[in-house]
């Protein structure tokens, strides 16, 4: 086989990492696929810009046609980001019979089924391992390593920025604003951190994971999403007192043929393996009917970890080229989408209330929960500095989300309850 020619869309942090790995690992790539691998052209916005990685200026272009319409290029690696324009580029690529490797989670969460179907029609591969959890081979693990199993639940920390912030709040007592500023200084958070701190980035990744793990087309709009901006130091302190660690958790859960996909701050039992995942690291806990429990752990972002996942996908494409089996990996989903209703989603819940400090208040609250068959697992009751006010912190046993939301509304309407300060899902007490 002659040298395989690559077109690279983007030369930022991750694109630079791809160039370094392709150049420095030629011997390993040659050993795996039996021929040289060459970067033919690189699309950039500004050809004259100084970059961290040295590349031959002759490789740079600011015209996408130099790559998309180049008959000598076999594989396109997309690390430029963006959605609408990038979608058009990748559709053109596969229609021109070019295989694609992408790290674009936003694109795959929104247009993954369309792009994969078009790639299959044109007998092209479209691989996207790097779109979820950076250097952790979670997608390959689901598709290949656990291919014979039936996945029932995936629960993970899939956003390094929020995990760094919550680690600083928990370990150092930093308030949210201070922890966010530190994340921005270290380059873990963007100047506009909305996508991370509001849970949108994690939601995109959970949509991708659920689609693959459950063989069901899960759209981004199907993911219930809540961020971390409202978490207070008091919430962190109370979670510690009760034996929990606060994390932004993505959950994809299947019972029978119905699924739930969500992202929210949750309290994890401090003995659960995910509770020990700190700073910018990611981890995904996977439950299979046959294998039981497995966990994928590692750096969730960064130039070389993400580039490693991209080049691993590149090797997969090149091996398929040798075997003449490209375009066969993206099978149609096996199941129709079937989402759980609120009365089918069960979990434990943490609740923090400010109430009037009067006789009978706690009995009233207990009666309200009992009417919906919800009991308490853990309770703290504390006086507040303001006279006549008290704070109640409790953890329920498992209850349906519908019943819990009904109780929250009844608490808001009760004159004895001054304010619902916070509420969080509780996970990991039973490892599932």
- Mapped onto helix, strand or coil, the DSSP state of residue 409 is helix
22: DSSP letter: H
Could you identify the residue written with the tokens 């963007």?
Answer: 190
Are 218 and 337 spatial neighbours (Cβ–Cβ below 8 Å)? Answer: yes
Task: Label the pairing between strands 224-225 and 258-269.
Answer: parallel
Please tell me the distance from the alpha carbon of residue 162 to that of residue 168, in angstroms, as a whole number.
10
The sign of the torsion formed by the CA atoms of 263, 266, 270, 271 equals negative
Residue 280: other Cβ atoms inside 10 A: 22
- Mapped onto helix, strand or coil, the DSSP state of residue 26 is helix
Are 78 and 99 spatial neighbours (Cβ–Cβ below 8 Å)? Answer: no
Phi, psi of 420 (to 5 degrees): -90, 110
Catalytic, 378? Answer no
Please tell me the distance from the alpha carbon of residue 285 to that of residue 432, in angstroms, as a whole number.
9
Please tell me the distance from the alpha carbon of residue 420 to that of residue 387, in angstroms, as a whole number.
18
- Mapped onto helix, strand or coil, the DSSP state of residue 426 is strand
Catalytic residue (choose from 205, 258, 387, 402):
205
Residue 124: other Cβ atoms inside 10 A: 24
C-beta contacts of 87-92 below 8 A and 24+ residues apart: 87/111, 87/114, 87/115, 89/9, 89/64, 90/115, 90/126, 91/115, 91/118, 92/68
Find all residues with CB under 8 Å of 277, minimum gap 6, and list them.
Answer: 157, 163, 247, 283, 297
Please tell me the distance from the alpha carbon of residue 7 to that of residue 77, in angstroms, as a whole number.
6
Please tell me the distance from the alpha carbon of residue 52 to that of residue 45, in angstroms, as a whole number.
15
Q: At what angle do helices 303-323 and 26-33 cross, to 10 degrees?
A: 30
Are 60 and 5 spatial neighbours (Cβ–Cβ below 8 Å)? Answer: no
414: DSSP letter: -
Report the catalytic residues: 205
């Amino acid at each position: 086989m002659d040298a395989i020619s690559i077109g690279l869309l983007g030369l930022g942090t991750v694109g630079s990492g791809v160039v370094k790995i392709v150049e420095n690992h030629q011997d390993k790539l040659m050993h795996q696929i039996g021929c040289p691998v060459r970067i033919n052209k690189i699309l950039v916005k500004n050809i004259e810009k100084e970059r961290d990685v040295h590349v031959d200026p002759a490789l740079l272009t600011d015209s996408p046609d130099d790559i998309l319409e180049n008959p000598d290029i076999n594989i396109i690696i997309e690390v430029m980001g963006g959605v609408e324009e990038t979608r058009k580029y990748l559709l053109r690529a596969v229609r021109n019979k070019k295989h694609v490797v992408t790290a674009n989670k936003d694109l795959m969460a929104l247009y993954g089924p369309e792009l994969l179907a078009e790639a299959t029609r044109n007998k092209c591969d479209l691989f996207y391992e790097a779109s979820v959890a950076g250097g952790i081979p979670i997608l390959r693990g689901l598709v290949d390593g656990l291919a014979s199993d039936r996945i029932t639940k995936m629960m993970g920390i899939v956003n390094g920025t929020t995990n760094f912030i919550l680690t600083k709040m928990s370990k150092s007592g930093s308030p949210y604003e201070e922890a966010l500023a530190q994340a921005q200084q270290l380059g873990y958070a963007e100047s506009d951190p909305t996508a991370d701190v509001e849970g949108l980035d994690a939601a995109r990744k959970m949509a991708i994971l659920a689609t693959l793990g459950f063989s069901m087309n899960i759209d981004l709009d199907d993911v219930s999403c809540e961020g971390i901006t409202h978490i207070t130091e008091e919430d962190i302190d109370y979670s510690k007192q009760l034996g929990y660690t606060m994390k932004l958790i993505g959950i994809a859960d299947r019972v029978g043929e119905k699924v739930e996909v969500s992202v929210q701050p949750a309290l994890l039992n401090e003995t659960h393996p995910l509770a020990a995942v700190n700073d910018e690291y990611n981890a995904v806990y996977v439950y299979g009917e046959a294998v039981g429990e497995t966990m994928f752990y590692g750096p969730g972002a960064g130039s070389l970890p993400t580039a490693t996942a991209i080049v691993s996908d590149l090797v997969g494409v090149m091996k398929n080229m040798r075997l003449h089996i490209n375009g066969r990996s993206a099978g149609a989903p096996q199941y129709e989408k079937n989402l759980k209703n609120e009365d089918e989603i069960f979990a434990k819940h943490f609740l923090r209330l400010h109430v009037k400090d009067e006789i009978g208040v706690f009995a009233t609250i207990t009666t309200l929960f009992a009417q919906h068959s919800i009991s308490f697992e853990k309770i703290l009751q504390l006086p507040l500095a303001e006279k006549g006010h008290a704070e109640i912190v409790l953890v329920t046993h498992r209850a349906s989300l519908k019943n819990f939301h009904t109780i929250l509304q009844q608490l808001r309407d009760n004159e004895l309850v001054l304010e619902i300060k916070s509420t969080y899902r509780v996970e990991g007490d039973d490892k599932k």
